Structure 1
Amino acid sequence: MGRSNRAGRARTETEPNPAAPGGPSGAARTRSQGPLARQVGSGLAELVPDRDRPHAWTLLVDGAPQSLVDLADPTYLGFEYQRRLGHVIDLAAAPGKPVTVLHLGGGALTLARYVAATRPRSRQQVAEIDTALTELVRAELPLERGWQVKVRGADARAVLERTPEGAVDLVIADVFAGARVPAHCATVEFATLAARALAPGGRYAVNITDGSALLFARSQVATLRAVFPEVCLVADPAVLRGKRFGNLILVAAQQPLPLDELSRRVASDSYFGRVEHGRSLADFTAGAVPATDATAAPSPAPPPGVFH
């Protein structure tokens, strides 16, 4: 779920990406049709044309930005959190190598499109509980023909529980109920299920939001550190200082993470960010305790006006 300002591209080319074969598998929405608003299971979904990119659309649900999709260039990642998850995807394997990905939370399928375009022949499953939202996205912002993306209309945790052990290279959790991460998807038990689903060398990436004292973020770091030996956090320094509400990306694995390359990519991005790990991450946690199914609470609601 998008919580931050827009940014530049994740790729340097200016023409539509040639990796997308055959065009969308359906009649894609055009700018001339204007905005669209429709009630879905999670609220009022809106598709708003981008001011600067003629084939790009922003998905909002109840006024909160969820996803940005450029139908002409699926490698374009316009939201801060999506760009940072894009770095994780880029480092998941050798460039262009197919991977198996489980997306928990779908939105407009921006990251699934990115994986399909940058890593052809990848196999992807998406868990999106709001089937009406998925139907809207697939009708108005259709996927390219030939992409192996399966969307399941089910709760993210239920899908994770049914995922076979060692089945995927990457689990990406971007699970929001309204504008908050639900408690049952932010626990040690949930992270343990994600760890079980990962193949050797696999990685778990999580998008959360927080602000002010960052109590939820600190608890989430402690939660992942209780399950995974390797954890890092990526965020804007202003968010880390509690100066503004925003996104934080957590990445976890059983093996060492590519911290040097991830740090280089984050530092050179058009969004200013920082990677915390090791001692600095332990200091950030500041004695927070892991969240369990018995103790977890959802992430805090965004402050009024944060999306305006």
Structure 2
Amino acid sequence: MPDVDRERAWLLTVDGAPQSYVDLDDPEHLEFEYARRLAHVLDCAAEPGAPLDLLHLGGGALTLPRYAAATRAGSRQTVVEFDAGLVELVAGHLPLATGSGVTVHAAEARAWLAAAPAASADVVVADVFGGSRVPAQLTSVEYAREAARVLRPGGVYAANLADGAPFAFLRTQLANFGAAFAELALIAEPAVLRGRRFGNAVLLASDAGLPVAALARRCAADAFPARVEFGDPLARFMRGALPVGDADAVASPQPPQGAFSLG
């Protein structure tokens, strides 16, 4: 069940695992590494401060929408969160600022994406976990093609995923999005990429060139540095992986015990 730690900075946990961290006084403060990497993607998606049309699949405590509202005033943001109880909890305890431009809907992400207008978003951010796993309906090539349909030309898809060696799930996801987009990149800590531990990885896709140089600089400067893989190294990483259709899609792997615990 969701739980909110009542402090100046709020930590939302689900079944004991950290789900979202929000500092109501400083929405630009991002505690979790994966959230900072997603924020780097938003920072590099357009000129600094320029408003964007954002679709967030998965809402949590609205950490990233709050960040985008603070850094890109005038953005229009749609958040789709499956857990209606969580939506109500966050609205009651962590309300958005007036005029944030963020609209939250309690709905299923794949169904919402299928009904969304074509070419209606500049960025689609997917951070959807059922418990600790990405649901199977969000891991197929058909889902990747729906995301491509909803993005505008030059738009960016960014997904928070999790996997460990031998990376069967992550490689399949890259193959799915490689079938739907011209450009791919992957952001993760070196220890994760080398297979030393299970962890988060941010998958990026676009029909245009991705800002990999700018992202690499930002990710390398973090307290927990990450690497941006693209081009030939990424092609070698995903070599032999094939897209998976809806009929064969599976949820992301179960994390090892304690992989994302609070310690």
For the superposition of Structure 1 and Structure 2, which TM-score range results when normalised by the shorter chain?
Answer: over 0.9
Which whole-Å deviations, capped at 9, do the CAs of 1:54-73 have from their partners, x for residues lacking one? Answer: 62111110112111100000
TM-score (norm 1): 0.83
Read off the aligned partner of 2:34 and give its amino acid letter.
Y
Read off the aligned partner of 1:217 and give its amino acid letter.
L
Which whole-Å deviations, capped at 9, do the CAs of 1:231-275 have from their partners, x for residues lacking one? Answer: 000000111112111100011000011111111111111121101
Match of 1:108 in 2: 61
Aligned with 2:246: secondary structure?
A: coil
Displacement of 1:226 after TM fit?
Answer: 1.0
Q: RMSD over aligned Cα, in angstroms?
A: 1.0
Aligned with 1:294: secondary structure?
A: helix
Match of 2:3 in 1: 46
- Alignment partner of 1:268 is 2:221: yes
Aligned with 1:97: secondary structure?
A: coil
Displacement of 1:212 after TM fit?
Answer: 2.8
- Equivalent in 125, 142, 152 of residue 95 of structure 2: 142
Match of 2:145 in 1: 192
Aligned with 2:79: secondary structure?
A: strand
Match of 1:300 in 2: 253
Query: What is the rounded CA distance, in whole Å, between the counterparts of 2:41 and 2:226 in structure 1?
Result: 14
Which whole-Å deviations, capped at 9, do the CAs of 1:4-46 have from their partners, x for residues lacking one? Answer: xxxxxxxxxxxxxxxxxxxxxxxxxxxxxxxxxxxxxxxx111
Q: Which has the larger radius of gyration?
A: 1
**Pairing of 1:1-308 with structure 2 (within 5 A):** 44-49=1-6, 55-306=8-259, 307=261, 308=263
Displacement of 1:95 after TM fit?
Answer: 0.7
More helix by share: 2
TM-score (norm 2): 0.97
Query: What is the rounded CA distance, in whole Å, between the counterparts of 2:174 and 2:243 in structure 1?
Result: 8
> Unpaired runs of 5+ in structure 2?
none
Read off the aligned partner of 1:46 and give its amino acid letter.
D
Displacement of 1:48 after TM fit?
Answer: 2.0
Read off the aligned partner of 1:47 and give its amino acid letter.
V
Aligned with 1:251: secondary structure?
A: strand
After TM superposition, the runs of 4+ consecutive aligned structure 1 residues lying more than 3 A away are none
Confirm or deny: 8 A CA contact 2:188 2:227 kept in the other structure.
yes
Displacement of 1:108 after TM fit?
Answer: 0.4
> Unpaired runs of 5+ in structure 1?
1-43
Query: What is the rounded CA distance, in whole Å, between the counterparts of 1:91 and 1:261 in structure 2?
Result: 7
> What is the aligned length?
261
Query: What is the rounded CA distance, in whole Å, between the counterparts of 2:179 and 2:76 in structure 1?
Result: 29
